[in-house]
């Protein structure tokens, strides 16, 4: 790992006492202690210091990473049983996560792109690690991990060695590098999903860290090629959305492949064409990728070329999803399958109603351009939108459009995106025949 001037963790842990409701939440497995759950603490402490949480009987309850700049004041690493936090502890966590992914890594055809560590859901709140072939990408959602970064990289090299390790920082690091504010929401934007955007390379508080930094290994001069269920995809882990690819939809892409034979397929919010490539391998006779980002569509075309000699079945369209689908409706341009995988419309409670309106509009547009007996595939990636409410909203919109749905399947998270607590569940997807 590069020689970085990372901050040190205080040798003096912060002692914290909490409310009864906060104690109940922690005992039930919730990985966060919020600011308003603290009744007393020994001293202020620095970002990344270790905080020891005591219950109402003043017995050990948990230990975690302290972040004075966040409403999530402590991200909890261990509950009920005391632990020494350092590289051996992180090795233990990563080894458990690595073993959970064994069925995925060992599958035939081999998959070399997957999430190795899923943050809170794997007992490491505020950090994720994705693998793309021989490159690992660490993404931090809180600066509390910065003082522990060297130990995390050491643990990664011990458990799942990679030739290259890339560091990604959540957008809030760049918005307020001095204050180190953060967010844990998914970072898809509503208007577009740019494929390869330039990194701002902002260096927070002299630590020498920036988004897209190479921590281990050689400089990356071209996109990485990885495999997913035998298909090839390129990824830019330096500038791409999230860590470069939407790994969480792998299983749903495979479901699309199984349904695509002989169909004309429209992939809305296509990003770099994941669903499109699977549909083509499944035998779709026509595939249209629609996204607001020209770089994303260009990458989708390259991904198509990586897997098929004949690329005539694939067409990329750049534009606003709502506008283009409306135009297709007016032009009587119909499809046998419409896939709608939009960004997260609800980052907080105040945005839920707007998100539901957007889902309704997308459903109405989607079914309006589906041929008789067509298939609708519609997903939501917002944890703020309740799962049943999402499905009910899609069904209601389809009925109101005069195209009621007959469900084929509902799906949730893949093996490498486990759910460890209620807010950790965000992905839901509906597969349905349209009457």
Residue-wise pLDDT for 75-130, tens only, equals 999 999 999 999 999 999 999 999 999 999 887 779 999 999 999 999 999 999 99
Residue 137 is predicted with a pLDDT of 98
What pLDDT is recorded for position 95?
98
Q: Which of 29, 59, 79 is the last residue of a domain?
A: 79
Q: Does residue 322 belong to any structural domain of this protein?
A: yes
| Calpha distance 202→208 (Å, rounded) | 9
Residue 380 lies in a domain: yes
Asked if residue 259 and residue 333 are part of one domain, the reply reads: yes
Whole-number Å distance between alpha carbons of 321 and 342 = 9
Are 68 and 176 in the same domain?
A: no
Is there a single domain that holds both residue 279 and residue 212? no
Q: 154 and 54 in one domain? A: no
Give CB contacts under 8 A, 24+ apart, made by 33-41. Answer: 33/62, 33/64, 33/72, 33/73, 33/74, 33/75, 33/76, 34/71, 34/72, 34/73, 35/70, 35/71, 35/72, 35/73, 36/71, 37/73, 38/73, 40/16, 41/14, 41/15, 41/16, 41/17
What's residue 122's pLDDT? 97
- As a whole number of angstroms, the distance between CA 129 and CA 164 comes to 12
CATH of the domain at 305: 3.40.50.150
End-to-end CA distance of the chain: 57
Domain that holds residue 187: 87-224
Same domain, 280 and 426: yes
6 assigned to some structural domain: no
Query: Which parts of the chain register pLDDT below 70?
Result: 172, 174-206
pLDDT, residue 5, reads 86
Is the residue at 337 inside a domain? yes
Same domain? For 54 and 169 the reply is: no
Does 33 fall in a domain?
A: yes
What is the spatial distance between Cα 160 and Cα 390, in angstroms, rounded to a whole number? 37
Q: Is residue 241 a part of any domain in this protein?
A: no
Q: Please check whether residues 258 and 385 belong to one and the same domain.
A: yes
The tally of domains found in the chain comes to 3
């Amino acid at each position: 790992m590069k020689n970085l001037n990372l901050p040190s963790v205080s040798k003096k842990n912060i002692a914290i006492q909490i409310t009864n409701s906060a104690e109940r939440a922690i005992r039930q497995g919730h990985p966060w202690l919020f600011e308003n759950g603290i009744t007393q603490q020994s001293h202020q402490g620095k970002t990344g210091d270790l905080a020891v949480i005591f219950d109402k009987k003043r017995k050990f309850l948990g230990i975690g990473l302290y972040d004075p700049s966040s409403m999530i004041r402590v991200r909890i690493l261990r509950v009920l049983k005391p632990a020494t936090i350092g590289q051996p502890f992180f090795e233990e966590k990563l080894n458990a996560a690595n073993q959970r992914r064994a069925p995925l890594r060992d599958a035939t055809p081999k998959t070399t792109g997957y999430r190795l560590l899923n943050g809170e859901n794997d007992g490491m709140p505020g950090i994720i690690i994705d693998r793309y072939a021989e490159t690992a990408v660490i993404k931090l959602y809180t600066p509390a991990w910065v003082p522990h970064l060297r130990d995390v990289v050491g643990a990664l090299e011990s458990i799942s060695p990679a030739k290259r390790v890339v560091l990604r920082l959540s957008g809030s690091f760049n918005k307020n590098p001095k204050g180190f504010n953060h967010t844990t929401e998914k970072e898809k934007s509503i208007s577009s999903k740019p494929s390869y955007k330039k990194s701002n390379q902002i260096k927070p508080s002299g630590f020498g860290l920036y988004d897209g930094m190479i921590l281990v290994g050689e400089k990356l001069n071209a996109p990485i090629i990885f495999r997913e269920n035998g298909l090839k995809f390129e990824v830019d882990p330096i500038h791409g959305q999230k860590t470069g690819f939407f790994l969480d939809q792998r299983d749903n892409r495979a479901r699309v492949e199984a349904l695509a034979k002989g169909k004309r397929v429209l992939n809305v919010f296509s990003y770099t064409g994941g669903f499109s490539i699977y549909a083509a391998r499944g035998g779709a006779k026509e595939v249209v990728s629609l996204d607001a980002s020209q770089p994303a569509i260009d990458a989708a075309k390259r991904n198509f070329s990586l897997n098929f000699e004949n690329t005539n079945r694939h067409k990329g369209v750049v534009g606003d999803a709502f506008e283009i689908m409306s135009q297709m409706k007016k032009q009587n341009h119909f499809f046998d399958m419409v896939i709608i995988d939009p960004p997260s419309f609800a980052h907080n409670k105040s945005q839920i109603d707007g998100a539901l309106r957007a889902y309704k509009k997308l459903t109405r547009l989607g079914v309006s351009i589906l041929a008789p007996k067509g298939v609708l595939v519609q997903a939501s990636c917002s944890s703020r939108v309740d799962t049943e409410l999402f499905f009910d909203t899609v069904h209601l919109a389809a009925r109101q459009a005069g195209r009621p749905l007959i469900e084929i399947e509902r799906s949730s998270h893949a093996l490498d995106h486990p759910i460890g607590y209620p807010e950790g569940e965000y992905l839901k997807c509906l597969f349905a025949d349209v009457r």
